[in-house]
Structure 1
Amino acid sequence: MDDKRWRDRDWLAGAHTWIDGRLDELGMSRTGVIEQPHVYPWSTVLRAPTEAGDVWFKANAEPLRHEAAVVERLAARRPDAVPPLLAADTTIGWMLMSDGGESLRTVAPREASLKRWYDILPLYAGIQLDLAPDVDDLLALGVPDMRLAVLPSAYERLMDEIDAERRFRDAAPMVADLCGELAAYGLPELLQHDDLHDGQVFVRDGRHLVLDWGDACVSHPFFTLSVTLEGVLAWGLDDVENSVDVAPFRDAYLAPYAERFAGDLVAASRVAMRLGWACRAVNGHVPGANNSTFTRLRMFLDGRP
Structure 2
Amino acid sequence: MDAAITWTKDWLAAHDYCLLGEPDLVRAVPWSKIYCFATDRGHVYLKWSAPAYASEAALMTSLASQFPTVILPVLARNPALGAFLMPDGGEPLRGKLKQSYDRQTVGTLLGEYAHIQLSVVSDVDSLLALGIDDWRMAVFADLYDKLVHDQGLLAREGLTMAEIEVLQRTGDEVRRLCREFAEFNIPDTLEHCDFHDNNVLVNPGGVLINDWGDAVITHPFFSLAGFLDSAARNHGLDVGSPAYDDIKDAYFGIWLGLENPPQLERIFEIAQVLRPIEFAFNFRRVVNMTTVEEFQPYRGYIGEALRRFLSSVREIL
TM-score category, normalised to shorter length: 0.7 to 0.9
Question: Which residue in the other structure is 2:108 paired with?
Answer: 119
Question: Which residue in the other structure is 1:156 paired with?
Answer: 145
Question: Which residue in the other structure is 2:216 paired with?
Answer: 217
Deviations, residues 7-33 of structure 1 (Å, cap 9, x unaligned): xxxx32x11211122223433222221
Compared with structure 1, are the counterparts of its residues 68 and 242 closer, same or farther at alpha carbon in structure 2 (3 Å cutoff)?
same
Residues 1:107 and 2:106 aligned together: no
Q: Choose from 283, 290, 302 the match for 1:293.
A: 302
Question: Which residue in the other structure is 1:55 paired with?
Answer: 44
Q: Alignment partner of 2:27: what SS?
A: strand
Question: Which residue in the other structure is 2:231 paired with?
Answer: 233
Following the alignment from structure 2 to structure 1, what is the Cα–Cα distance between the partners of residues 220 and 59? 16
Following the alignment from structure 1 to structure 2, what is the Cα–Cα distance between the partners of residues 180 and 75? 33
Contact conserved, 1:67 with 1:213, CA < 8 A, in 2?
A: yes
Q: Alignment partner of 1:249: what SS?
A: helix
Query: Normalising by the residue count of structure 2, what TM-score does the alignment of the two structures yield?
Result: 0.85
Residues 1:262 and 2:251 aligned together: no
Question: Which residue in the other structure is 1:272 paired with?
Answer: 271
Residues 1:250 and 2:248 aligned together: yes
* Alpha-carbon shift at residue 247 of structure 1 (Å): 2.7
Following the alignment from structure 1 to structure 2, what is the Cα–Cα distance between the partners of residues 169 and 100? 44
Contact conserved, 1:201 with 1:208, CA < 8 A, in 2?
A: yes
Q: Which moved more, 1:40-49 or 1:130-139?
A: 130-139
Unpaired stretches in structure 2, ≥5 consecutive residues: 288-294
Structure number with greater CO (CA < 8 Å, separation at least 6) is 2
* Alpha-carbon shift at residue 112 of structure 1 (Å): 4.5
Contact conserved, 1:274 with 1:300, CA < 8 A, in 2?
A: yes
Compared with structure 1, are the counterparts of its residues 39 and 235 closer, same or farther at alpha carbon in structure 2 (3 Å cutoff)?
closer
Question: Which residue in the other structure is 1:29 paired with?
Answer: 18
Q: Which moved more, 1:30-39 or 1:111-120?
A: 111-120
Q: Which amino acid aligns with 2:258?
A: F
Question: Which residue in the other structure is 1:8 paired with?
Answer: none
Contact conserved, 2:189 with 2:218, CA < 8 A, in 1?
A: yes
* Alpha-carbon shift at residue 157 of structure 1 (Å): 1.0
* Alpha-carbon shift at residue 122 of structure 1 (Å): 0.5
Q: Choose from 39, 44, 48 the match for 2:33.
A: 44
Residues 193-204 of structure 1 aligned to structure 2 (within 5 Å): 193-204=192-203
Following the alignment from structure 2 to structure 1, what is the Cα–Cα distance between the partners of residues 82 and 196? 23
Q: Which moved more, 1:279-288 or 1:28-37?
A: 279-288
Higher helix residue share: 2
Following the alignment from structure 2 to structure 1, what is the Cα–Cα distance between the partners of residues 195 and 237? 19
Q: Alignment partner of 2:89: what SS?
A: coil
Contact conserved, 1:236 with 1:244, CA < 8 A, in 2?
A: no
Q: Alignment partner of 1:84: what SS?
A: coil
* Alpha-carbon shift at residue 262 of structure 1 (Å): 3.2
Seq. identity, % = 31
Q: Alignment partner of 2:134: what SS?
A: coil
Q: Alignment partner of 1:45: what SS?
A: strand
Compared with structure 1, are the counterparts of its residues 132 and 21 closer, same or farther at alpha carbon in structure 2 (3 Å cutoff)?
farther
Unpaired stretches in structure 1, ≥5 consecutive residues: 1-10
Q: Alignment partner of 1:27: what SS?
A: coil
Following the alignment from structure 1 to structure 2, what is the Cα–Cα distance between the partners of residues 255 and 242? 19
* Alpha-carbon shift at residue 244 of structure 1 (Å): 4.4
Residues 81-100 of structure 1 aligned to structure 2 (within 5 Å): 81-100=70-89
Q: How many matched pairs?
A: 290
Following the alignment from structure 1 to structure 2, what is the Cα–Cα distance between the partners of residues 290 and 178? 28
Query: Normalising by the residue count of structure 1, what TM-score does the alignment of the two structures yield?
Result: 0.88
Q: Choose from 20, 44, 57 the match for 1:68.
A: 57
Compared with structure 1, are the counterparts of its residues 251 and 228 closer, same or farther at alpha carbon in structure 2 (3 Å cutoff)?
same
Following the alignment from structure 1 to structure 2, what is the Cα–Cα distance between the partners of residues 301 and 225? 20
Contact conserved, 2:185 with 2:259, CA < 8 A, in 1?
A: no
Following the alignment from structure 2 to structure 1, what is the Cα–Cα distance between the partners of residues 200 and 26? 18
Following the alignment from structure 1 to structure 2, what is the Cα–Cα distance between the partners of residues 137 and 60? 21
Following the alignment from structure 1 to structure 2, what is the Cα–Cα distance between the partners of residues 219 and 92? 28
Following the alignment from structure 2 to structure 1, what is the Cα–Cα distance between the partners of residues 168 and 7? 46
Deviations, residues 201-250 of structure 1 (Å, cap 9, x unaligned): 11011411111111110001111122111x2123462x477584623211
Following the alignment from structure 1 to structure 2, what is the Cα–Cα distance between the partners of residues 20 and 223? 39
Following the alignment from structure 1 to structure 2, what is the Cα–Cα distance between the partners of residues 19 and 182? 44
